[in-house]
Structure 1
Amino acid sequence: MSKDELEEVNWERIMHLKLYSRYRNSAGQRVRTALNLKGVDYTYVGVGSNGTISQEDYNRDVNPQGLIPTLSVDGELVTQSTALIEFIEETFDGSSLFPDDPLMRARSRAFAQVIACEMHPINVGRVKAHLVAEHGQNDADWERWYDHWAHHGYETLEKQLEARTTKTAFAFDDKPTVADLYLIPQLYNARVFNTDVSAYPLLNEIDERCRALEAFDKAMPKNQPDFPGEGAI
């Protein structure tokens, strides 16, 4: 290629992206939605019994921590959904995943971090398994424990939305941003764990609006290649 031809190449479209995930994986759902909102093509690689790579092979060859998602960028591996969303934002054109206003951008990040750091960790399978195996909790004990902390998180999120001086169509903007990317999978978890979130009207309003968008719908568990079928959650 000549120098002029090289300058005209859209390098972001040359990247080969592979997303290692699982149909019901909140962190992976965030990243899938971000890629969809940016209109970025990627190859989905399901991890686990219904996927195309076993958990054992994934742990050995992709991510020794054993957690998902992982994004392969031309063979280079990047983990952690927050880092992946920032990479997607910084690499690809399209509508920004963050509000333009600096204050709203900070609030959107704070909202997302309540979910990522304080809510999501308590509903991952390995935490429940440890509590049951090592601390003698049964399912009912775990559900009470989970509900206590889940509602603490949802109350915090609802109050953050109530505190907005200007109501926006989505969490902190009139377009979906990082706050919405984190909220929708977490509310999906609420349905999986039978957590009653009817007391949070603003969260539910945003959830309904987001799930009506193609980018969010395509990222839902039921629309992933490794979804096991009717009746699965």
Structure 2
Amino acid sequence: MSEELRLYSYWRSSAAYRVRIGLNLKGLAYETMPVHLLRDGGEQLTPAFAATNPQKLVPVLQHGQRLFRQSLAILEYIDEMWPEPPLLPATSRERQRVRALAQMVATDVHPLNNLRVMRYFEGEWNVPQAERDAWTRHWIMEGFDAFEALLDGHPATGTFCDGFLPTIADCCLVPQVYNARRFGVDMARYPTIVAVERACMELPAFRDAAPDRQPDAPLQA
């Protein structure tokens, strides 16, 4: 377990942002290996990076000589390797709820508005920027409408998405709120989500994982 950790990351990647939060919550030191998703057409598309991840996506976590891919799988890996503090609740029913919330963001909302989708719209169909932004807002709001409904008034919702400790659901939610604000989503319609995000951002683990605090972030992010 003492083997070195390296995270292949991009400062504004929400999937990498999730993993940064998880590593910080565990108090784990790691080296950031920047992969610029825009420079020279995208460093993730190079043969060198494809050897690290054939999907040509970040994040990738390197633990010693082993490489781990997919943000949710990485979060569960670090939770199993370093159990304290836990990123999943104690009971099966509670864990199911947290995983479902995390997957709402990571598998339903985020894939519809990530960089490769936007590039396809632009490069193959010449979709204007304004229409691409409207697409992004639409799918974030579709997801957040449901997410808010599942948080608001649920007995398991506490300071965080589930109870009073951050979980993988919070690791996924906070980066998606960052994206929502980037694209002009009116967050006033999601008071419970905003309250959870506010509680998260009071913790150094979340603040230090923020895009503008990353070593590869531009000076004016």
Equivalent residue in structure 2 for 1:26, among 7, 14, 18: 14
Matches within 5 A, 1:14-163: 14-48=2-36, 54-55=43-44, 56=46, 58-163=48-153
Segments of 5+ residues of structure 2 without an aligned counterpart are none
Partner Cα separation in structure 1 for residue 142 and residue 89 of structure 2: 26
Q: Secondary structure at the match of 1:131?
A: helix
Partner Cα separation in structure 2 for residue 45 and residue 102 of structure 1: 35
Structure 1, residues 9-50: CA drift from partner, whole Å, max 9, x if none? Answer: xxx2x1111110011111111111111111111111111289
- Cα pair 1:59 1:65 within 8 Å, conserved: no
Q: Secondary structure at the match of 1:219?
A: coil
Identity %: 37
Q: Secondary structure at the match of 1:64?
A: coil
Partner Cα separation in structure 1 for residue 203 and residue 143 of structure 2: 25
Q: Please say which structure displays the higher CA radius of gyration.
A: 1
1:225 is aligned to: 215
- Cα pair 1:18 1:71 within 8 Å, conserved: yes
| Equivalent residue letter for 1:204 | V
Matches within 5 A, 1:145-184: 145-184=135-174
Partner Cα separation in structure 1 for residue 197 and residue 79 of structure 2: 22
Partner Cα separation in structure 2 for residue 147 and residue 48 of structure 1: 24
- Cα pair 2:137 2:184 within 8 Å, conserved: no
Taking structure 2 as the reference length, the TM-score comes to 0.92
| Equivalent residue letter for 1:41 | A
Distance change in 2, residues 1:138/1:212 (3 Å): same
Taking structure 1 as the reference length, the TM-score comes to 0.88
| Equivalent residue letter for 2:218 | P
1:9 is aligned to: none
The alpha-carbon deviation at position 177 of structure 1 amounts to 0.6
**Does residue 1:209 correspond to 2:184, yes or no?**
no
- Cα pair 1:29 1:220 within 8 Å, conserved: yes
Partner Cα separation in structure 1 for residue 171 and residue 5 of structure 2: 19
The alpha-carbon deviation at position 154 of structure 1 amounts to 0.4
Partner Cα separation in structure 2 for residue 101 and residue 28 of structure 1: 27
Partner Cα separation in structure 2 for residue 40 and residue 71 of structure 1: 12
Aligned residue pairs, count: 218
| Equivalent residue letter for 2:203 | L
